[in-house]
Structure 1
Amino acid sequence: MDSSPTPALTALAQGDAAPQHGPRPLPLFLNILWRETECDPELRRRAFAGLRKYQEARRSPSASSAKCVATAGTARLLRYGAVNYRFPVVFIPSLINPPQVLDLSESRSLLRHMGAAGHEAYLVDWGTPTVQDATLGLDGHVTERLLPMLSTLSRPPILVGYCLGGSLALAAAALQSFPAVSTIAAPWKFDCFAKADLDLIGGLWESAKSMCESIGYVPMEVLQSGFWAMDPARTIRKYADFADLAVESDEERAFLAVEDWANGGAPLTFAAGRDLFEQFYAANASGNDQWRINGRTISPSDLECPSLSIVSIGDRIVPAAAGPRLREKWSLSLGHVGMVVGGRAREMLWEPLSVWLSSHGG
């Protein structure tokens, strides 16, 4: 069999887009586009132009100097910055979409900023689950993936979790002692989500559960369809606006990087998906102090270490009110993704968080 790369793979290696480059799942995106633009032919034209531009745009590879220092199952712990006398700081991304949102590009990287600021910073990469991981729930991601990797560090680290990664960071801090913990846009009180969103997510899981159980994982497309359904008009408008951005501009590169991240990522294990949809969204187990791991209740109010919850009033994915109640709280006015990679992220999140970490030994 000829093992030489196909032209499409060669193009990708050189930084070009694939012939068909998302968004995933494309049939659903096209259905939303057609429905949302039914009464606006000009918006439809611009949205299709943006879609074509997105699919054909050249991508510039973003090289990272991160070094893998530990593994647990398919997960890896990547180091940014030099080992120093401070407490290490471990950033924990969501299980949904790739971890690269915290290291998106040379100019939009929370991790590179922290390394340059002198922090011994690390990033968790959850990897791609195998067939054998189907029964690995959210609890297992903490006890069998996260905690074993953290134990390899020379000192207990400060934990910083983004989105669902923040929920997992709180679980880790409840099970073991850490110097401090911070969450960014972390969902905790699921009864604070809009009822329409909870109903939408519940219906999505009801229709997908049987299929997911049979294959042992929850495809990224299932989760993506839920995010799109929360705000379909915005999903289409941003592609229409993208059509008007100057080629090779910073704004165009930022859009490509964020959308490629949002349309990528490994599936969830079936057990983790079931925990997320049934324990969290449906039963509000975390918000009701009913989430238990190894017989221990995971409750932020029991944490003895310094803790900080960072939320955003502009977050459409995780409402600000749904964040955990910790000792300190910062409220921003950015979106769920914009708060970590947007044009104002450096001044509003990266720099203040760096100071907070330093004040607690990080």
Structure 2
Amino acid sequence: MTDTAPFDAAPQHGPRPLPLFLDLLHSETAASPERMTMALAGLRAYQDAARQARPAPMPVLASAGRACLRDYGGDGRPVIFVPSLINPPFILDLTETNSMLRWMRNQGVRPLLLDWGEPLDEERDLDIAGHIERFLLPLIDAVGERPALAGYCLGGTMAIAAAALRPVTGLALIAAPWNFNGFPSAARADMLALWATARPGCEAIGYLPMEVLQTAFWRLDPARTIAKYEAFAALDSASDAAGNFVALEDWANGGAPLTFGAGREAFEAFFGSDTPGQGAWLVGGKQILPETITCPVLDIVSLRDKIVPAATATGLADRIELDAGHVGMVIGRSAQQTLWQPLARWLSQLQHEW
């Protein structure tokens, strides 16, 4: 790695890209000047908010190239938590007081967070399957005993492939898309139109910038993108809720770009052709089929998730259904009760069953 500034180092706070956010704000509040005023007040309050320092990174247990496993300690069988390639991995460790992983280490689980690091120039053609082969599989091998896997969002999709290629004790999926035909057809068409516009520039620079991905996510739920800033304007800036909002939005507006190869596979193969759902996704030369995985699998979906709709899940029988948003299910006010606790119970029981 070089000594250059990280990709998410910016001279101002987001939302990124700000011009698109302002366009969405105008279109969503055009009929209500009061809402526009409130959303703008929330935007200003977010940009001016004091930031708490991020918790210090946990020690590195093992490395594979630019990726590593960060060890959160605790007793019990190791569980590798696989975050998405999109946005930083610390959504699972948002703050000292709102952290799934810090809570899990006291629940009979030894959490290991996969930190993907930042892509290198020579990795421009590395696709999603390549990230699994080059980073995730070697890190599983490096643990020294059979871990379980818990994958969130695209990290869950990747964890499915890893569980098909390595002996693991269990696989937990959290809002993990597999059947990409389950996305609304209009959303898929919008994704592909966005990629058609962005691809030439991305190919030229070798990366898919975070701003393009953010554009895609905002288009999936533009109303919420604006409404949450309206709500933030009414919060006490010193409250825990305000602090959590700022930390969450900083996470959502941060992160390294994807390699061009990973972006191309996400848009063209996943959203365009549904290669995972059609049984056509090859990783390490092997066809990946969730139904052939022999370890216990738990699929956790949310019926209110607009980023990864429940219809995109694997459809495997052992399933928990939640009533929360894509991110709220992980760090929201009820996350400990509705997600963390049942997930910890399931993971800790694997020690006795496998």
TM-score bracket, normalised by the shorter chain, equals: over 0.9
* Contact 1:218-1:268 at 8 Å conserved across structures: yes
How does the TM-score come out when normalised to structure 1? 0.92
Partner of 2:17: 25
Counterpart in 2 of 1:288? 278
Residue among 109, 118, 141 paired with 2:99: 109
For 1:267 and 1:317, the matched residues in 2 are separated by 19
Aligned residue in 2 for 1:3: none
Map of 2:52 onto structure 1: 60
Distance of 1:329 and 1:148 partners within structure 2: 29
Preserved CA contact (<8 Å) 2:107 2:348: no
Which residue of structure 2 lines up, in the alignment, with residue 301 of structure 1? 291
Aligned counterparts, 1:66-85, within 5 A = 66-82=58-74, 84=75
- Counterparts of 2:304 and 2:29, CA distance in 1: 25
Distance 1:87 1:241 in 2: 41
* Counterpart position of 1:187: 177
1:319 aligns with 2:346: no
Stretches of structure 1 that go unaligned for 5 or more consecutive residues are 1-11, 13-17
The match for 2:197 is 207
Equivalent pair of 1:81/1:118 in contact (CA under 8 Å): no
Match of 2:37 among 45, 48, 63: 45
Q: CA deviation at 1:327?
A: 4.2
Question: Hey, what's the Cα distance between the residues in 2 that align with 1:39 and 1:333?
Answer: 30
Deviation at residue 196 of structure 1 after TM alignment = 1.0
Stretches (4+) displaced over 3 A: none
Which residue does 2:336 correspond to in 1? 346
SS of the residue aligned with 2:142? coil
Quote the offset at 1:194 in angstroms.
0.5
My pick for the range that moved more, 228-237 or 280-289, is 228-237
Q: Give the match for residue 120 of structure 1.
A: 110
- Are the equivalent residues in 1 in contact too, given 2:82–2:113 (CA < 8 A)? yes
Is the Cα–Cα contact under 8 Å of residues 146 and 169 in structure 2 kept in the other structure? yes
Matched residue SS, 1:287: coil
CA distance in 2, matches of 1:237, 1:353: 30
1:183–1:231 CA distance, 2 compared to 1 (3 A): same
* 1:149 shift after superposition: 1.3
Is the contact made by 2:127 and 2:265 (CA closer than 8 Å) also made in structure 1? yes
The aligned amino acid for 2:105 is G
* Aligned sequence identity (%): 49
Report the Cα distance in structure 2 between the residues aligned to 1:46 and 1:19, rounded to whole angstroms. Answer: 25
2:4 matched to which residue of 1?
Answer: none
Q: Which residue of structure 2 aligns with residue 4 of structure 1? A: none
SS at match of 2:308: coil
2:217 corresponds to 1:227:
yes
For residues 350 and 64 of structure 1, what CA distance do their matches in structure 2 show?
Answer: 22
Task: Give the counterpart letter for 2:205 in structure 1.
Answer: I
Q: Larger relative CO (CA 8 A, sep 6+): 1 or 2?
A: 2
* 1:160 and 1:184 in contact (8 A); partners too: yes
Q: Distance in 1 between matches of 2:316 and 2:265?
A: 23
1:160 equivalent in alignment to 2:158 = no
Equivalent residue in structure 2 for 1:91, among 62, 65, 81: 81
Task: Tell me the equivalent position of 2:3.
Answer: none
RMSD of aligned residue pairs (Cα, Å): 1.4
Q: What is the alpha-carbon distance in structure 2 between the residues aligned to residue 87 and residue 231 of structure 1?
A: 38
1:143 and 2:133 correspond:
yes
Q: Distance in 1 between matches of 2:26 and 2:304?
A: 27
Partner SS for 2:60: strand
1:334 aligns with: 324
Count of paired positions: 344
Aligned equivalent of 1:255: 245
What is the CA-CA distance between 1:65 and the residue it aligns to?
5.8
- 2-side partners of 1:182 and 1:237: how far apart? 31
Q: Which residue of 1 aligns with 2:28?
A: 36
Residue 174 of structure 1: which of 160, 164, 187 is its match? 164
Name the TM-score, length of structure 2 as normaliser: 0.94
Tell me the secondary structure at the aligned position of residue 148 of structure 1. helix
- The one-character-per-residue Cα deviations of 1:94-134 (angstroms, maximum 9, x if unpaired) are 00111010000112111101112232110001111011111
Partner of residue 265, structure 2 = 275
* Alignment CA distance shift 1:257-1:172 (3 Å): same
